[in-house]
Structure 1
Amino acid sequence: MNDKDSKRRFFAPPAQDVEDVVKAGLCTGCGMCASIAAPAISMGINVEGNMRPLVEAEVAAGKTGQIMAFCPGVSVQGPGRPKASTVHPVWGPMHEIHRSWSREPLVRHKAAAGGTLTALGRYLLSSGRVQAVLHVRADDRKPWLTISTISRTPDEVLGGAQSRYGPSSPLVNLHRLLDEERRFVVIAKPCDISAVRALGRVDPRVEQLIPYMLTIFCGGVPSAHIAKAVIRHHGLDELDIGLYRFRGEGWPGPLRVQTRDGTVYDLPYPGAWYMGKFGYEIQFRCKICPDTVGEVADVSVPDGWILRNGKRLYAEAPGTNVALVRTPAGQELLHAAIDAGYLAISPVSLEEIEQMHTNHQRKAAASAALFALRLMGQRTIKAFGYRTMDGLKHAGLRGIFQEFGGTVRRVLTGQNWEHLI
């Protein structure tokens, strides 16, 4: 047996289709596959409470190849070291950083954190720069679930605004909008943006029709079972739920469940989702993610936590975000929205961001987790352009061993394995 054959036996073969991706625990639930291959593939919640593809008919060979090329459960490509940017080993490329918030009091109060993403979507539609916003909102029938939506007016954007902590597939409508040949903005998770960037490398319509891609910082996608555990905690029936807000109006606000007759049940923000036997458990793919901070977006917009003595304040207050401007396009957009009266900004430092978002520091050692999977003969994602050595140096030996050892334990306990729908 030659060296090449030995290597093939030692390392897991590449995923051949979406079912391979799901079984290996590498699916993000983004919906790109359903966007490409509908109606043969649709998206739904599986037995683990994760959003996953359902293959309902034979997928054409050509479309399977496209799916594998763009799937963030197969590969992701980072920005590397773009010119004219400060590049941090964890936070990635930055042209500018600010605290930011919507200048419309209603938007700032209702939307996630300070309403920056909502404000940008509203500005883009009002100014005619785009004709649609592709994002997510609460499901009208099951408000604890999240669905992909297309907003075509500023009021529709506001109607879908709120923090969503759960499985979603923002990209199921992506090709529908591309086929309409109208300009639109994508507001989605970092892994979703990675998938759209991958598509853009072969489909010229992405560059022509999607002038901006905006994202959040992502702490991982929890199971839908957590929301159901909260509902059970209040002794309620799922059919009676008329509203489910993971964070209340007023920032950050309580987790609010409201029945159809108007009765309100609140839980305080800290620890509100650590319910029942499921806890705040995120899908396996999120635990090995090399880009939780949205490096490939034009602007990344996490919470701008208000700190006192280095600790977060959870009391309701006028919310703020942080705006990390990644690209010249994002820089131009941010300042145009400010000039038009949609956004306000104030200074923020890297030190403050590091205090606000300590959980994202582990991203620096993500390559150690990917290496552990390969050594154990597991399928893993290919990650390029995330400055591996810079990240490992920043993480240090302790961070490297934590990510490596944690991944080994998850594999040995079967936490990376999933059922199909």
Structure 2
Amino acid sequence: MARKQLRSKRTFFAAPARDVEDVVGSGLCTGCGLCASIVGSAISMGINIEGNMRPLVRGEVAAGKNEQIMAVCPGVSIHGPGRPQRVPIHPVWGPMREIHRSWSSEPIVRQKGAAGGTLTALGRYLLTSGRVHAVLHVRADDRQPWLTISTISRTPDEVLRAAQSRYGPSSPLVNVHRLLDEGKRFAVIGKPCDTSAVRALGSIDPRVERLIPYMLTNFCGGVHSAHVAKAVMRHHGVDELDVVLYRYRGEGWPGPLRVQTRDGTIYDLPYPGAWHMGKFRYELPFRCKICPDGVGEVADISVPDGWILQNGKPVYGEAPGTNVAVVRTPAGEELLHRAVDAGYLELAPVSVEEIEQMHINHHRKAAASVALFALRLMGQRTIRALGYRTKDGLKRAGLRGIFQEFAGTVRRVLAGENREHLI
């Protein structure tokens, strides 16, 4: 299949993206799949030459549909929560109505789920309680287990079978309109950019508010290219056709990256060493490097790892996992405590200072507005980001952080990192 490289026009203060091809070619696509959900077969999702999940336009996209896509695409604009009243607001972590350490009360869920299994437990509770009829999330691809596909779980056991961290590319939102058309309530568990896209969809589709009562997310440090998984398999000397299991983390805290072949042979890489394999540690899409919201500010609950710390540093050995539950909205607050009351979750205290130590890699988010401004100055297409308290973030980043973000963005553009291919 021909691979067409798209380049944004290099004009001062470049015009906003006009269509999906502009978004992809400017390096701004997140791969969420919402565009494919909106138009159906005219757009399909797949892995492109850079190893990222991206849309391919296969047919004509009507003007009205294109307008809808541009209104909700997180590669065009994202809208933060601003300053909700009577809610503590952190310059990096955003609104923090409540914060807790959290983990699943079910040992099997806590072991199999990412970190403490909090998102898995919430999904199971939502289905068991009848609050939703389905959960839209992701799972490992049965045929190519190093890849990740969108899935719809309708039972608690299906949620558990799909559990585990999935660091690779995925398009979780390709099934959003399928579920909206069913007319039944469902929850969305995705990355922060996915929840931003669904919130934006609610501004043009009134069914979202009625049918999607809960949006849950993690903290996202970026989506690794599929090339990383292939590099891991090459490192072990394994043919990808022989792989039957590719688990980005172990069962437990946090556990090794595991590859298993058809004959039962197991190959492990310790966490975090699996993410530092030569040049592949830098295999993040350009969009991830300029993301204004890796912490899920518009979700109802954000659930990052609750790193176990010793002397301020993470412990990577096996142990019962924990998460942090960052409650953003009244709906999230009510959900969290009902899940606790029903015996699905356990909570313990955690401080903002501990979260600061756990997720120091997210501190650069404070200066994300500088990266977006640098793109505009260089005549590159960029994201419109509103409601992320720019002044607070810049004050937190300081002059050094501002300079580093500006210089880093300029360097990436000059290196062509923001130019990407269609599939």
In structure 1, how many angstroms separate the alpha carbons of the residues matched to 2:322 and 2:340? 15
Deviation at 1:278, TM superposition (A): 2.9
Partner of 2:203: 201
Partner of 2:271: 269
Letter in 2 for 1:269: Y
In structure 2, how many angstroms separate the alpha carbons of the residues matched to 1:154 and 1:145? 23
Letter in 2 for 1:83: Q
In structure 1, how many angstroms separate the alpha carbons of the residues matched to 2:206 and 2:344? 31
Partner of 1:3: none
Q: Where does structure 2 lack aligned partners over 5 or more consecutive residues?
A: 1-9
Partner of 2:92: 90
In structure 2, how many angstroms separate the alpha carbons of the residues matched to 1:155 and 1:216? 21
In structure 2, how many angstroms separate the alpha carbons of the residues matched to 1:222 and 1:235? 21
Alignment of 1:286-365 (within 5 A): 286-365=288-367
Question: Does the Cα contact within 8 Å between 1:230 and 1:273 map onto a contact in 2?
Answer: no
Deviation at 1:10, TM superposition (A): 2.1
Deviation at 1:222, TM superposition (A): 1.0
Alignment of 1:213-224 (within 5 A): 213-224=215-226
In structure 2, how many angstroms separate the alpha carbons of the residues matched to 1:306 and 1:312? 6
Q: Where does structure 1 lack aligned partners over 5 or more consecutive residues?
A: 1-7
Task: List per-residue Cα deviations over 1:247-269 (Å, max 9, x = no partner).
Answer: 01111000000012211111111
Question: Does the Cα contact within 8 Å between 1:138 and 1:147 map onto a contact in 2?
Answer: yes
Partner of 1:59: 61
Query: TM (normalized to structure 2)?
Result: 0.97
In structure 1, how many angstroms separate the alpha carbons of the residues matched to 2:38 and 2:253? 37
Task: List per-residue Cα deviations over 1:288-315 (Å, max 9, x = no partner).
Answer: 1110100000000000000000000000
Structure 1 ranges of 4+ moved more than 4 A: none
Partner of 2:254: 252
- Output the aligned Cα RMSD: 0.9
Question: Does the Cα contact within 8 Å between 2:94 and 2:297 map onto a contact in 1?
Answer: yes
Question: Does the Cα contact within 8 Å between 1:15 and 1:74 map onto a contact in 2?
Answer: yes
Deviation at 1:420, TM superposition (A): 1.5
Question: Does the Cα contact within 8 Å between 2:19 and 2:66 map onto a contact in 1?
Answer: yes
Deviation at 1:419, TM superposition (A): 1.3
Partner SS, residue 420 of structure 2 = coil
In structure 2, how many angstroms separate the alpha carbons of the residues matched to 1:281 and 1:368? 22
Deviation at 1:9, TM superposition (A): 5.1
In structure 2, how many angstroms separate the alpha carbons of the residues matched to 1:401 and 1:15? 27
In structure 1, how many angstroms separate the alpha carbons of the residues matched to 2:372 and 2:12? 15
Query: TM (normalized to structure 1)?
Result: 0.97
Partner of 1:5: none
Partner SS, residue 279 of structure 1 = helix
Deviation at 1:277, TM superposition (A): 4.1
Matched, 1:384 2:389: no
Cα 1:87–1:277 shift into 2, 3 Å: closer
Partner SS, residue 90 of structure 1 = coil
In structure 2, how many angstroms separate the alpha carbons of the residues matched to 1:136 and 1:276? 28
Matched, 1:401 2:403: yes
Matched, 1:236 2:238: yes
Partner of 2:5: none
Number of corresponding residues: 414
Cα 1:311–1:276 shift into 2, 3 Å: closer
